[in-house]
């Protein structure tokens, strides 16, 4: 009897700070960062849907802008994402004008979770959270976050110990099918690894094989990174659907570089 891939399990995303006085303090300190983004044509599908990989690029850009805003772009310049969750709650009318809001939702000594909420003038509503590791580029190991960064960036974070716990099985399902996918030289970033948004492009390729799921909202997408990809890895993209959950894996040789999923969830 074949094993069954477990469904995505995850806690509800931590809420925004809504108290007006506390919110103003956090905005003034830089713990909460806000900015506007205009949705461009390459982030929208032919059926005028804001794509997951387009959202992922907004998350990356906002993260770098936030670090610059609090003067930590040079102090903690390298971050490795372990997991990103994107919940597209309302698709809105595209192309939309977006307001993004970013803050640290939980802090560890070498890593943190970061929330980014996105609200559009034309109805787009998205909630996201990512697990980021502060990385030492010389030793290739997690690096301690400075006390001032923890105090500043972590001012809006929930209390408690932050530990990593995987949501997705890295082992592909025995009945997974292969989806055509090709890495390009343009997919590499500054440290010669495949850019984070490219994994979401792979997930969009898988989602394109399931048009009934693609058209449903809300949708929760999850990407968990297990090891870095490089161009010469030439990974295979595998997929398997279990009801309202579509699973995917980027496999390089005998290792799974990333496990991914898209799930139709009940409206709040």
Q: Is residue 7 part of a domain?
A: no
Instruction: Judge contact between 39 and 91, C-beta under 8 A.
Output: no
Tokens representing residue 140 in the block:
């290739």
Domain hosting residue 112, numbered range: 20-164
The first and second tokens of residue 236, run together, are: 């295979």
- Residue 172's domain is classified under what CATH number? 3.10.129.10
Is there a single domain that holds both residue 149 and residue 196?
no
**What pLDDT shows up at residue 105?**
95
Total domain count, the chain = 2
Tokens of 213: 């799921």
Q: Residue 158 falls within a domain, yes or no?
A: yes
Q: Decide if 183 contacts 194 (C-beta within 8 A).
A: yes
Question: Which residues in the chain show pLDDT less than 70?
Answer: 1-11, 268
- Is position 224 within any domain? yes
Q: Which residue has the tokens 């059926």?
A: 47
Co-location of 121 and 207 in the same domain? no
pLDDT tens per residue, range 145-198: 999 999 999 999 999 999 999 999 999 999 999 999 999 999 988 777 889 999
CB distance 117 to 104 below 8 Å: no
Question: Which of 164, 198, 224 represents a domain boundary (last residue)?
Answer: 164
Give the model's pLDDT for residue 4.
42
SS3 16: coil
Query: What's the pLDDT score for residue 14?
Result: 85
d(CA 62, CA 69): 10
The pLDDT score that the predictor gives to residue 41 is: 93
pLDDT of residue 37: 96
- The reported pLDDT for the residue numbered 9 is 53
Same domain, 27 and 158: yes
One domain, residues 27 and 155: yes
Shared domain check, 192 and 152? no
Last residue of a domain, one of 109, 138, 164: 164
Distances (CA, A) of 221 to 17, 89, 111, 155, 214: 24, 11, 22, 27, 11
Q: Is residue 235 part of a domain?
A: yes
Give CA–CA dist 215/208, Å, rounded: 10
Q: Are residues 64 and 156 in the same domain?
A: yes
| 24 & 118 share domain | yes
118 and 176, same domain (yes or no):
no
Residues 146 and 178 in one domain: no
Residue 178 in domain: yes
Both 193 and 220 in one domain: the answer is yes
Same-domain pairing of 144 and 217: no
């Amino acid at each position: 009897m074949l094993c069954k891939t477990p469904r995505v399990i995850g806690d509800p995303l931590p809420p925004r700070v809504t108290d007006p006085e506390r919110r103003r303090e956090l905005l003034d300190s830089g713990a909460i960062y806000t900015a506007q983004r205009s949705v461009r044509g390459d982030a929208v599908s032919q059926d005028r849907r804001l794509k997951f990989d387009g959202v992922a690029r907004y998350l990356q850009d906002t993260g770098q802008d936030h670090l610059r805003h609090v003067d930590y772009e040079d102090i903690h310049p390298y971050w490795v994402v372990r997991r990103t969750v994107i919940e597209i709650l309302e698709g809105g009318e595209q192309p939309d004008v977006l307001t993004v809001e970013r803050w640290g939702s939980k802090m560890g000594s070498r890593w943190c979770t970061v929330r980014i909420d996105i609200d559009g003038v034309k109805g787009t509503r998205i909630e996201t959270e990512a697990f980021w590791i502060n990385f030492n580029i010389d030793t290739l190991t997690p690096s301690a976050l400075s006390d001032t960064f923890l105090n500043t960036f972590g001012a809006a974070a929930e209390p408690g110990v932050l530990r990593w716990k995987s949501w997705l099985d890295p082992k592909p399902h025995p009945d997974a099918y292969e989806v055509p996918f090709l890495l390009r030289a343009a997919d590499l970033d500054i440290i010669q690894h495949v850019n984070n948004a490219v994994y979401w492009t792979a997930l969009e390729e898988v989602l394109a094989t399931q048009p009934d799921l693609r058209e449903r909202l809300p949708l929760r997408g999850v990407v968990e990174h297990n090891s870095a990809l490089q161009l010469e890895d030439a990974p295979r993209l595998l997929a398997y659907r279990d009801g309202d959950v579509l699973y995917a894996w980027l496999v390089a040789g005998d290792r799974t570089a990333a496990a991914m999923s898209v799930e139709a969830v009940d409206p709040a």
